[in-house]
Amino acid sequence: MEVNDKLLNTGILIVATLVVAKLISFLIMPRSKKRVPPAVKAWPVIGGLLRFVKGPMVMLREEYPKLGSVFTLNLFNKKITFLIGPEVSSHFFKASESDLSQQEVYQFNVPTFGPGVVFDVDYTIRQEQFRFFTEALRVNKLKGYVDQMVTEAEDYFSKWGDSGEVDLKYELEHLIILTASRCLLGQEVRNKLFDDVSALFHDLDNGMLPVSVIFPYLPIPAHRRRDRARKKLAGIFANIIASRKSAGKSENDMLQCFIESKYKDGRPTTEAEVTGLLIAALFAGQHTSSITSTWTGAYLLRHKEFLSAVIEEQKQIMQKHGNKVDHDILSEMDTLYRCIKEALRLHPPLIMLLRSSHSDFSVKTRDGKEYDIPKGHIVATSPAFANRLPYIYKDPDTYDPDRFSVGREEDKVAGAFSYISFGGGRHGCLGEPFAYLQIKAIWSHLLRNFELELVSPFPEIDWNAMVVGVKGKVMVHYKRRQLSVN
């Protein structure tokens, strides 16, 4: 009897040990093995790079149908995990900086923006600096900026003749830098130093190449020119700030907001910080807005039904408000808003957003598959790809601004983060209202004062640019005419 009991106890112990061991191994080992995202097939060592340099969009288009919405690319010693679609990308947008951070992946901006700002400072300071942006872009400030945007558009287009042909892309790029200079950098730059400052910005811009993302300090001529330009800009802004302070002058522009901004501990911003933040603002808004205004124009001129709809809207608004255009009047232009939003859905200029992961997390796909993404991965999502998912947007390659009209609102069907041209969540674009106002101010002026026709073929996408835009010229024939309200 005693022997039997002993045997039974030993048996139970063995079984229990096996069960516990199995449980532990299930909880620890196989789980992380089984649930890692599928990997993109590529040759060892440089295979991942070869796939990536063919263009991230080419890679996404090839892999998404095969691997689904979550997959990993091995790029040298780094693993980049792509999260495509609202179901899996929500952690990307919502996670705290300690879980998913921007600092490492956006480090390459530091030599351009300069020391002491944005990605060169730790998150607590960066958050405060983003608060300065938020304050500088509040509605009461935007109201003043809009008046300047309208004046800039009127002045700019008054230089066009009665009729002629222009490269719309060049024209809008130019107008947007003039407007941004006035609203953001201030009237000293806009009125006296515009040529110098825009040449220096040009050097900064040309100093941000694909190679700069990996080797931002590589001693190449473009980087040397960038560094020289950065120093000269710092000198110019130091003078402007000093003269504003000594004259006790206060202007309505972002420069003034940054001069007056204070950290929580009461410390005012330094001249170097103000310069860095202004450069960051210009970089965030310049190409993105000018590209979007060009695409909006190209689509409106190709799709006469939407062109007629925005013209009709202008007529109605003119009936109500006459020729006046201000912040509140621009805010009434819903049809134009949807036309811009749809151009931006099809062509988000920032095609890839990145984070660095500091803790493991899991995602669940639409079809219920779960994956664990280990810390140490770079995590990526792509507005350019996600904005064309056919289960969110009906006929996703078709330009159809009405998909955002009340009742359809396709962007809301799949929940938050299905429309991600402006990012979203924790790091959503702070300049979105500014960008819309700027583009609306330009297009309402054009629609009211010109008849326009696209005379070159519909433009293609320039995938090679850092901020992905319009390839080649966009030739437009214009004829001056006053929009009649009757």
- Number of residue whose CB is nearest ligand HEM: 431
C-beta of 309: minimal distance to ligand HEM in Å? 21
CA separation for the pair 420, 86 (Å, rounded): 9
C-beta of 421: minimal distance to ligand HEM in Å? 5
C-beta of 431: minimal distance to ligand HEM in Å? 2
Nearer to ligand HEM, 431 or 459 (CB): 431
Nearer to ligand HEM, 181 or 288 (CB): 288
> What are the φ/ψ torsions at residue 362 (nearest 5 degrees)?
-120, 150
Nearer to ligand HEM, 186 or 478 (CB): 186
Nearer to ligand HEM, 318 or 468 (CB): 468
C-beta of 429: minimal distance to ligand HEM in Å? 3
> Are 478 and 452 within 8 A, CB to CB?
yes
Residues that constitute the known binding site: 429
How many Å from the N-terminal Cα to the C-terminal Cα in the chain? Answer: 108
C-beta of 137: minimal distance to ligand HEM in Å? 6
Residues that constitute the known binding site for heme: 429
Nearer to ligand HEM, 306 or 434 (CB): 434
Nearer to ligand HEM, 314 or 387 (CB): 387
C-beta of 138: minimal distance to ligand HEM in Å? 12
Nearer to ligand HEM, 220 or 416 (CB): 416
C-beta of 103: minimal distance to ligand HEM in Å? 11
Nearer to ligand HEM, 322 or 415 (CB): 415
Q: Which residues bind ligand HEM (CB under 6 A)?
A: 130, 133, 281, 284-285, 288-289, 292, 348-350, 353, 421-423, 427, 429-431, 434-435
Cα 27 to the center of its chain, rounded Å = 39
C-beta of 233: minimal distance to ligand HEM in Å? 17
